[in-house]
């Protein structure tokens, strides 16, 4: 069996994980919760998994934090968020309830004083009359009042909205306003609204659905800055194949940090990875900023502490955990095994090997790349170019135990770093 086990990405030993939830900093630790089916590599059942870290690099072994155990969440504890006031960690999540095949979601609350034991307090917001059962993913913040934004499918339009609710105590929420609407997409998921560098930033997922069959057809993550009402104008957050459901939090240093689900696999791609008994992972943590009207994503600085430079020579082999830094030349190509190749010409094109179809998937962009960082783990790549203006995330199927690095021109402006990760769990 191939080794696809990641070294510095959050994943589980068994089952399926997807959306990051409840990202927070609480009593000296980073908390990452996530959707998890610990019983199978499909979406038939969901609990909240939990892992913690002191440094955003080394993560504890995942455990179940919230079970699907009550009348208001019996069919799954679905995505949500967390609020920490220093003494209490409050988790807000969608309780999935189905009756005769129809969804009746409840937005629910659970709290903890120690980050280990969570007490459920039931529903804080029931399904409004104006929305279908596709009403989920509460992102809650606490300022002068408690605010909840949530994605919903409007009954009248059959399209997606982002709605804001407010509360004076965090336990009962009332309608405040509609943040934005879509005229094109049937559902909006995983909204996140925050202020960053004096700008309002709204992140969310645009989802196309067949309302007759209740089937999801496509989804991708986007963002808006300052002008938030027209959700169809969202700009892509990531140019790769495997990125969705991003969520952010602010740490003790005031950084806005984001993680996302690192998978948009096709059914055929999932079949191969599911043979391992576990499937999917989260991205590495990224720090966000706003510059010149764009959302900038950069690896958190803790990742650079793992880097140990080694001399680059053409056709060299290196361990699979590595970072490659390139100041590109025009008309140059760079390849990593048969898994990935990057071509710098008038613009840039990236080819990723599709292990299911056994073809290369190619994307091209008419932009000039001045600098690029390629972060590699056992079965993934995350590319940050032009200081985080361009980001590309994709899973890879390892074709060899090591990485074979090759450039079409003699090595120059290429730096290679091995990543030294001392982690008892992620190894």
Q: Count CB atoms within 10 A of the CB of residue 130.
A: 15
Known catalytic residue at 19:
yes
Contacts of 12 (CB under 8 A, 6+ apart): 36, 38, 49, 62, 278
Tens digit of each residue's pLDDT, the chain (427 residues) = 688 999 999 999 999 999 999 999 999 999 999 999 999 999 999 999 999 999 999 999 999 999 999 999 999 999 999 999 999 999 999 999 999 888 999 999 999 999 999 999 999 999 999 999 999 999 999 999 999 999 999 999 999 999 999 999 999 999 999 999 999 999 999 999 999 999 999 999 999 999 999 899 999 999 999 999 999 999 999 999 999 999 999 999 999 999 999 999 999 999 999 999 999 999 999 999 999 999 999 999 999 999 999 999 999 999 999 999 999 777 899 999 999 999 998 899 999 999 999 999 999 999 999 999 999 999 999 999 999 999 999 999 999 999 999 999 876 789 999 999 875 544 3
Are 82 and 23 within 8 A, CB to CB?
yes
What is the rounded distance in angstroms from the CA atom of residue 392 to the CA atom of residue 36? Answer: 25
Catalytic residue among 19, 137, 192, 377: 19
- How many angstroms separate the Cα of 15 from the Cα of each of 53, 61, 92, 401? 21, 14, 23, 24
Q: Which residue has the tokens 């002008």?
A: 227
What is the rounded distance in angstroms from the CA atom of residue 262 to the CA atom of residue 137? Answer: 18
- How many angstroms separate the Cα of 324 from the Cα of each of 335, 348, 355? 11, 17, 23
Q: Which residue has the tokens 């995983």?
A: 190
What is the rounded distance in angstroms from the CA atom of residue 68 to the CA atom of residue 30? Answer: 24
Closest CA to 377 of 281, 236, 277: 281
Closest CA to 87 of 27, 47, 161: 27
pLDDT on residue 1: 61
**Reported pTM:** 0.96
Strand-strand pairing, 15-26 and 278-279: parallel
Which strands, in side-by-side order, build the sheet including 316-318? 316-318, 403-407, 332-336, 340-344, 348-354, 359-365
* Six-digit token string for 291: 């510059």
Distance of CA 129 to the CA centre of its chain: 31
- How many angstroms separate the Cα of 309 from the Cα of each of 121, 164, 381? 51, 48, 19
pLDDT on residue 427: 36
What is the rounded distance in angstroms from the CA atom of residue 204 to the CA atom of residue 235? Answer: 10
What is the rounded distance in angstroms from the CA atom of residue 298 to the CA atom of residue 427? Answer: 24
Contacts of 109 (CB under 8 A, 6+ apart): 90, 91, 92, 120, 121, 122, 123, 124, 170, 171
Distance of CA 288 to the CA centre of its chain: 13
User: What SS3 class is residue 305?
Assistant: helix
pLDDT on residue 2: 84
Closest CA to 188 of 233, 219, 212: 219
Distance of CA 176 to the CA centre of its chain: 28
Q: Which residue has the tokens 């010409």?
A: 345
Are 110 and 89 within 8 A, CB to CB?
no
CB-count burial class (<10 Å; 0-12, 13-18, 19+) for 179: buried
Strand-strand pairing, 286-291 and 102-103: unpaired
Q: What are residue 194's DSSP bridge partners?
A: 201
pLDDT on residue 409: 81
Closest CA to 23 of 257, 284, 282, 290: 257
DSSP 59: B
pLDDT on residue 426: 44
What is the rounded distance in angstroms from the CA atom of residue 202 to the CA atom of residue 407? Answer: 39
């Amino acid at each position: 069996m191939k080794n696809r086990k990641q070294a510095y990405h959050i994943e589980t030993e068994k089952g399926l994980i997807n959306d990051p939830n409840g990202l927070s900093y609480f009593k000296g630790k980073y908390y990452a919760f996530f959707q998890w089916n610990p019983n199978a590599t499909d979406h038939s059942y969901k609990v909240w998994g939990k892992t913690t870290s002191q440094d955003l690099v080394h993560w504890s072994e995942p455990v179940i934090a919230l079970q699907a155990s009550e009348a208001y969440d019996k069919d799954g504890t679905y995505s949500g968020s967390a609020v920490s006031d220093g003494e209490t960690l409050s988790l807000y999540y969608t309780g999935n309830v189905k009756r005769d095949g129809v969804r009746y979601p409840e937005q629910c609350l659970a709290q903890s004083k120690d980050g280990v034991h969570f007490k459920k307090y039931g529903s804080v917001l029931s399904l409004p009359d104006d929305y279908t059962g596709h009403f989920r993913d509460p992102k809650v913040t606490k300022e002068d009042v408690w605010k909840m934004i949530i994605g919903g499918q409007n009954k009248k339009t059959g399209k997606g909205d982002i709605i804001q609710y407010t509360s004076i105590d965090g336990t009962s929420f009332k309608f405040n306003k509609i943040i934005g609407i879509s005229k094109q997409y049937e559902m909006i998921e995983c909204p996140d609204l925050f202020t960053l560098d004096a700008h309002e930033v709204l992140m969310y997922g645009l989802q196309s659905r067949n309302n007759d069959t209740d089937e999801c057809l496509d989804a991708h993550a986007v963002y808006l800055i300052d002008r938030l009402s027209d959700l169809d104008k969202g700009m892509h957050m990531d140019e790769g194949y495997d990125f969705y459901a991003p969520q952010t939090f602010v740490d003790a240093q005031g950084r806005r940090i984001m993680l996302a689900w690192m998978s948009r696999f096709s059914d055929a791609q999932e079949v191969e990875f599911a043979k391992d008994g576990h499937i999917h992972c989260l991205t590495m943590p990224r720090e966000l900023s706003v510059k010149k009207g764009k959302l900038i994503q950069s690896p958190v600085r803790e990742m650079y502490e793992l880097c140990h430079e080694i001399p680059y020579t053409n056709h060299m082999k290196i361990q699979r955990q590595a970072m490659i830094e390139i100041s590109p030349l025009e008309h140059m190509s760079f390849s990593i095994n048969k898994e990935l190749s990057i071509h710098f010409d008038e613009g840039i094109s990236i080819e990723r090997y599709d292990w299911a179809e056994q073809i290369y998937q190619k994307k091209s962009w008419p932009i000039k790349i001045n600098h690029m960082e390629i972060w590699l783990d056992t079965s993934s790549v995350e590319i940050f170019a032009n200081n985080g203006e361009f980001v590309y995330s994709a899973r890879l199927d390892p074709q060899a135990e090591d990485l074979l690095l090759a450039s079409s021109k003699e090595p120059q402006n290429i730096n290679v770093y091995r990543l030294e990760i001392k982690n008892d769990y992620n190894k």
